[in-house]
Structure 1
Amino acid sequence: MKRMILTLTGILLFCHMQAQDLTQLHFKVEEAPEWSALFIRNNGWFGGDGIYTIPFNGVENKPADSLLFIFSDSMIGTISNDSLQPGFRMVHNSVAIMKGKNIDFAWGHNEQDESVSVFEPNTPRTEKTDYYWLGDGFVNQEQHNTLYIFGYRVRNVSEEAFGFREVGNTLIKIPAGTPPPFTGYEQMDTPFFFTDKGGQIGSFGAGIFVNTAKAGAPAPDGYVYIYGVHGMDKQMVVARVKPAVFDHFNQWRFWDGTKWNKDMNKVADVTSKVSNELSLSPLPDGRYVLIFQEGGMGMTIGMRIGASPIGPFGPVIRLWDCSRDAEEKTYVMYNAKAHPALSAPGELLISYNVNSLEFFTDLPKHPHLYRPRFIKLKFN
């Protein structure tokens, strides 16, 4: 009888998910110039991509008084009279802490007092030239407010503009209260870097949705949902785990299209044409919005409406044309995502990254090019 009731509940839930409108949402979009201007900086950190925001209190879906920004490749140096000064340096990741409207950036320094990355890979699978780009992260309230961040091990393979490749997936673990630039953090190789059936690589950590009551989720089920992306078509896959065992990798389960499976190789695509960084956020009406750069890299910020954290997801709804920021034909836009902890009620603040295919040629001409831009998605 108990099994029959559970099955009936599952059927009803599935029917409810199927019945939701995944094609329409009343909204408007506008620029957020005050947020874009916040990252126009002339001393120290003056550019970066890979922007994620993590509220220190672990409450994901409400405005936060104190939160962490994490960036991947970042530029450190000086801009004077809109001119880039000699001695600038790129580091592979950096962080910033925002309290109220004040933001303080941090990066590492070596023995020669040169700027270096905050996080450096040092795991059994790490090779000498590997470095970290950062995935999403969260403060785990079920593990003494430990901060978890995904680290992608990346390796340069040529001198071309995109002459790099991801070679591994790791998890960075930082005790609560550790000040930046973080030292003494733990890092561990994970099994969540994979090759798909088409021979393309994939990895988990593109986005995290903490679906717990403590995190402020409106319909909590007690799980952390972790999104992965793979393949040229940017297909999205989903895993979940209880936060208390987040770093117990054998406790992770993967959505295979009908059930949660222990075998990562059975994971099913839930949608496609997303980007390597993305976000999932709840709507007041019980639906969810997936925010991404359509196809991974391009001029369009896209949204799909989901019936649940695992879908089904509706068609791409195009939100924003980023071409207005393309001062040069060589500019590229990528990895849009929402930041609920920075968003006012009834809206989502969305960032996207700007870069150039001729980075070191365009940077002296436009020294502020390499920074996030922001828009606001307002729900009517």
Structure 2
Amino acid sequence: MTHRPLTLAAAAGLAAAVIPLTAANAAPAPCAASITAEINTELTERFGTYADTAGRWTGADSAYSVDLPDGSTAWIYSDTFMGEVDENGGRPADSPFLHNSIIVDDDGALTTYTGGTEAAPESLVKVAGADETQRWYWFGDATVENGMLRVMLLEFIKTGSGVFDFKFTGNAVATLDPADMRLVSVTDLPDSPVGENSLINWGSAIYEDTEDGYTYIFGVEDNQAQKYAHLARVPTGSLTTAGWEYFDAGTWGTDPAVSSRILEGVSNEFSVSRFQGKFTLVTGDATEPLSAKIVMYRSSELTGPYTGKTELYATPETGGNVFTYNAKAHPNLGDGDTLVISYNVNSFDPDDLYADAGLYRPRYVDVHAQLGRGRR
């Protein structure tokens, strides 16, 4: 059987999760707010039916979303299984496996975009000239600028034969034409070294501030056992053309090697949005190994401090070989009282991903909350 599970994208998130750790904010704080959660049946059924019957996309992880200029929604995925689901609900052993893809949801009609051909699909964005078994891009968060879709790229290289034998090597930005997801360009970004052997992974979350004219990009300092959020910004509309600024202890500077930690315990992917009067960061709880908890932190300022750790949901799939990871909210899909949250599901046993095609797919949850509306 030829495959890349856990998948590699999941393995990146788990390299820290399997190591016990202690961290500030390790236990969720009591919360008197009203919070309830339920499965989002509309998204669950839409993507489940498509995956089972379209003969195209059968599952993926990452699951960022961004609204496109024509009113449709682009779903941004990293590791992706293609092909068909068999009569037993499984994946054939020769199912194509890609490192990134996009599905456009046009009022319930789903279209998958990849590279290559429909008969022989390839990743939508590939490292130029590279063997994708050794060097590839995963997708981060995305935004629309000047009518073009900009997707954050995280480049990884394989360093050995084991599932955890790979490392992050740098960031770039892909520009795609949203009309047909044609790749227009790839723009490399400067490295952001931190510590002796680490680089910040930019693109964990993007926040567009309509008031101050900046696009804010959150990144992760991934030290395996501990992960810290960092923050950068660029004038709105110039993600690939203007110099970035990096937040360091209350000031903004131009040195990509100088930025400060603003929160410990985030997953590699998370979200930041304005929700009920405060900046709200939603993440899988990376302060404990293999956590089933999806938690929220809040702040009056985008730059933090983010406090008041509150559990929003516990993923029911977690247990045995099955784990969940990289939870995030989708503010483009929610409303003033509801956070639409997705998270990824995977298994430590690679065969599980073929026996049950429904396992390796995002899950969708509506979290209804009344939290009290603070000032900005």
TM-score (norm 1): 0.81
Q: Does 2:314 correspond to 1:325? A: no
Distance change in 2, residues 1:270/1:365 (3 Å): same
1:109 deviation in Å? 2.0
The separation in 1 between residues aligned to 2:93 and 2:197, in whole angstroms, is 43
2:39 maps to amino acid: E
Residue 107 of structure 2 corresponds to 100
Which residue is 1:313 aligned to?
306
* Farther-moved stretch of structure 1 (345-354 vs 194-203): 194-203
Contact 1:161 1:358 in 2 (8 A): no
Match for residue 139 of structure 2 among 134, 139, 144: 134
In the alignment, the residues of structure 2 paired with residue 366 and residue 307 of structure 1 have an alpha-carbon distance, to the nearest angstrom, of 43
What residue number does 1:174 align with?
176
* Counterpart Cα distance in 2 of 1:174 and 1:166: 23
The alpha-carbon distance between structure 1 residues 370 and 24, as it changes in their structure 2 partners (threshold 3 A), is same
Q: For 1:164 and 1:118, how far apart are their aligned partners in 2?
A: 21
Aligned to 1:36: 44
Structure 2 CA distance, aligned partners of 1:264 and 1:348? 32
Q: Which amino acid aligns with 2:168?
A: E
User: In 2, are the aligned partners of 1:23 and 1:314 still within 8 Å (CA)?
Assistant: no
CA gap 1:252/1:83 in 2 versus in 1, 3 angstroms? closer
Hey, what does 2:124 align to over in structure 1? 118
Matched residue, 1:341: 332
Select which of 273, 276, 279 maps to 2:268.
Answer: 276
Larger radius of gyration: 1
1:152 aligns to what SS in structure 2? strand
In 1, the alpha carbon distance for the partners of 2:235 and 2:268 equals 24
Match of 2:233 among 230, 240, 243: 240
Q: 2:61 aligns with which of 49, 54, 57?
A: 49
- Match 1:267 to one of 253, 259, 282: 259
Structure 1 residue runs without a partner (length 5+) = 1-21, 58-63, 213-219
1:149, distance to aligned residue in structure 2 (A): 0.7
Q: Matches of 2:268 and 2:32 in 1, distance apart?
A: 25
**1:368 maps to which of 358, 361, 364:** 358
Structure 1 segments of 4+ aligned residues over 6 angstroms from their partners? none
Which structure 2 segments of 5+ residues have no match? 1-29, 371-376
Partner deviation per Cα, 1:249-298 (whole Å, 9 max, x = no partner): 5x21111112111222221111110011111110232x111011111853
Cα RMSD of the aligned pairs, angstroms, is: 2.4
1: CA distance between counterparts of 2:219 and 2:159?
Answer: 23
Shift in Å at residue 101 of structure 1?
A: 1.9
8 Å Cα contact 1:23-1:305 kept in structure 2: no
Normalising by structure 2, we get a TM-score of 0.82
For residue 340 of structure 1, give the secondary structure of its aligned residue in structure 2. Answer: coil
**What is aligned with 1:76?**
82
Where in structure 2 are the equivalents of 1:125-274 lying within 5 Å? 129-140=134-145, 144-175=146-177, 177-180=178-181, 182-183=182-183, 185-191=184-190, 193-197=191-195, 199-212=197-210, 220-230=211-221, 231-232=223-224, 233-249=226-242, 251-274=243-266
Q: 1:161·1:357 contact (CA, 8 Å) conserved in 2?
A: no
More helix as a share of residues: 1
What residue number does 1:91 align with? 98
Deviation for aligned residue 1:127: 7.5
- Output the CA distance in 2 between the equivalents of 1:267 and 1:203: 13
Q: Which residue of 1 aligns with 2:281?
A: 290
Q: Cα gap change, 1:244/1:363 in structure 2, threshold over 3 Å: closer, same or farther?
A: closer
Distance 2:167 2:46 in 1: 31
Q: Which position in structure 2 is the counterpart of 1:12?
A: none
